[in-house]
Amino acid sequence: MQNDVVAATVRGVVPTPNGCAVFLGNEQKTFVIYVDHSVGNAIQMTLDGVKKDRPLTHDLIGSILVGLGTSLERVVINDARDQTFFARILLKMENELGTKIVEIDARPSDSIVLSLQQKRPIYVARAVFDAVEDKSDIFEQWSKQQEESGDDPSEP
C-alpha cells in the first residue's frame, strides 16, 4: 500500500459562499475538496475538539462502530472525476472467527470527519494526489491573512 497512497492531513477549512473548502495535503502539495457547510462545520468542530450537547450524525456513526466492536482503520480518497472526489472507509472487525477488513464507499467529507474523530489516518491514492492541482500557495496566503488579522487560521 505504501507506494499506492500518500498520507494527508486536513490543513484548514475555509468557508466559501457555497460551502467550505477543505485543504488537504502534506509538505509536498495541498489540494482542495469542496464540501457543504454542515460537513465543513463538522470537520472544523472536530479539529477544534468542540464538545456537543447531543451527538451529530458523524458522532452517531462513530458510536455505532464502537458498539459493534468495529474500528475505522483508515480513509482513502481513491478517485477524482469531474471535480468530484470519491473515498473508501476501511473498517476492521475482529471476533472469535478472526479479523475482517470491510471497505465502504463514502463521500470524502464524511470520511474525513470520521477519521478525525477516530484519530485515524487519511490517505490519498497516488494517482489522485499526482493529478490534483497544487493549492499550497492559496492555502499559505489564506493562513498569512488570518495571522495578520489576528484570527486563528484553524477557525473559519
pLDDT at 152: 57
Q: What is the DSSP code string of 36-51?
A: -HHHHHHHHHHHHT--
CA distance to 20, 36, 37, 38, 84, per residue, from 17 (Å): 8, 10, 9, 13, 18
Give the pLDDT confidence score for residue 54 in this predicted structure.
87
108: its cell numbers? 470524502
Domain membership of residue 65 (yes or no) is yes
Quick check: is 132 in a domain? yes
pTM here is 0.87
Which pLDDT belongs to residue 80?
95
**Could you tell me the CATH number of the domain that includes residue 138?**
3.10.690.10
pLDDT digits (tens, 9 = 90+) for 7-47: 999 999 999 999 999 999 999 999 999 999 999 999 999 99
* Domain enclosing residue 26, as ranges: 5-148
Predicted confidence at residue 156, as pLDDT, reads 45
- Regions of the chain where pLDDT drops below 70: 1-2, 150-156
Per DSSP, helices labelled H in the chain are: 37-48, 57-67, 108-118, 126-131, 136-148
**Residue 156 belongs to a domain:** no
- If one counts the domains in the chain, the total is 1
In angstroms, the CA 54 to CA 100 distance is: 31
Three-state DSSP class for residue 80: strand
Q: How many residues does the chain have?
A: 156
- pLDDT score of 19: 94
Q: Does residue 91 lie in a domain region?
A: yes
